[in-house]
Amino acid sequence: MQELASLSRAPLVVAGRSLQRAESLALSFGERARGVYANALDARTLARVVEGAGLLVACCGGDQIVALQVALELRVPFIGVSPLRIEARSRALVAEQAWRAQVPVVLSAGAVPGMPGIAAELLVRQLPAIRQLRIASTGAWVETETARRDSRLASVALGEDSGTGALRRRIPELWRFAEPIGMRPVVPSSSADLDGFCESHCVETLSYLEPPRGVLGRSLGRLVSRQAEPGFALAAIASSDPEPGAKATVAIELFAPNVLIPAAALVGALGVHILDGRVPAGLSTPREVLRPAVALLALEKRGVRVSQASS
């Protein structure tokens, strides 16, 4: 919200199930903002708030479906911050509805999902052909009930096959992030903004990894690093078959004091593009809307540390 307020002079409406909290947040933006009551699961109250808006940003965790449908019915552009797993048929329906309503809909616009796709897009523009692309993050899920619920909603099975092959994919590996994060155990996971990336960019293999969740995962993390989680980090490494005179490996790493900073920067940049009419109607992900250079500039302005390397 703060990011959009600083990048745009549009009037703001802060809506939430707690009117007191909504009004308190709205006061921090001065006369241009007001707080109102709304329930993400109640289409009627949402419609009263959303009608006539230039943009709806849904920060309601996994409860985005009703908000998305209301936005489409009222022809209001939509940004969904938390992950929203929808099957291919439903996704095609949302894309068709967004096109008919002639409004842009951007899903998976948080830190994760959101930033893995941006990092992947950046690296494929630096290598002519990628054989392997590996992306790891410290995860988007802090220890709150909302985050745990969102994690369950966004989770995807890694495979139903049995035996050592399935077990091997779940055995953690150690990934060294830049300081102050350091070493962290990671396991194969999923990020919705990477769906279909290999096919559309001719990447041979792509893997996304996050720290293991649950009691066992947290215990393993404490064994590796005794300090509390010092922030959010995401790293991506792409490699290709080396050719004479060509770069064989490129990498990028991001660090922020907390996971909300990159999410806010990404939503702010997307919101400005939408309000300025630079995003076409239809269904998109952040990597399809923002050029990597634009996204990285927005991150750096918010204090996210970005480092790149090639060899």
What is the spatial distance between Cα 220 and Cα 215, in angstroms, rounded to a whole number?
Answer: 9
The answer to whether the predicted template modeling score (pTM) of the entire model surpasses 0.95 is: no
Q: Which SS3 state, helix, strand or coil, does residue 205 take? A: strand
pLDDT in the model for residue 167: 38
pLDDT in the model for residue 50: 94
Q: Of 72 and 227, which is predicted with more confidence?
A: 72
- Which residues, in sequence order, are bridge partners of residue 255? 233, 305
Report yes or no: 185 and 220 within 8 Å, Cβ to Cβ.
Answer: yes
- State the average pLDDT for the chain: 84
Q: How confident is the model at residue 240 (pLDDT cuts 50, 70, 90)?
A: confident
- Which residues, in sequence order, are bridge partners of residue 56? 78
Residue 243: burial class (beta carbons within 10 Å; 0-12, 13-18, 19+)? exposed
Q: What share of the chain is helix, strand, coil (3-state, %, to 5)?
A: 40, 20, 40
- Nearest partner of 115 among 311, 304, 310, judged by Cα: 304
* pLDDT tens digit sequence for 216-231: 555 555 555 555 567 8
Q: How confident is the model at residue 275 (pLDDT cuts 50, 70, 90)?
A: very high
- Nearest partner of 256 among 307, 309, 208, 206, judged by Cα: 307
pLDDT in the model for residue 168: 42
Residues 6+ apart with CB under 8 A from 13: 26, 33, 34, 35, 36, 49, 53
Domains of the chain (ranges; CATH) run: 2-110+261-289 (3.40.50.720), 115-259+296-310 (3.30.360)
Q: Of 84 and 211, which is predicted with more confidence?
A: 211
- Which residues, in sequence order, are bridge partners of residue 310? 250
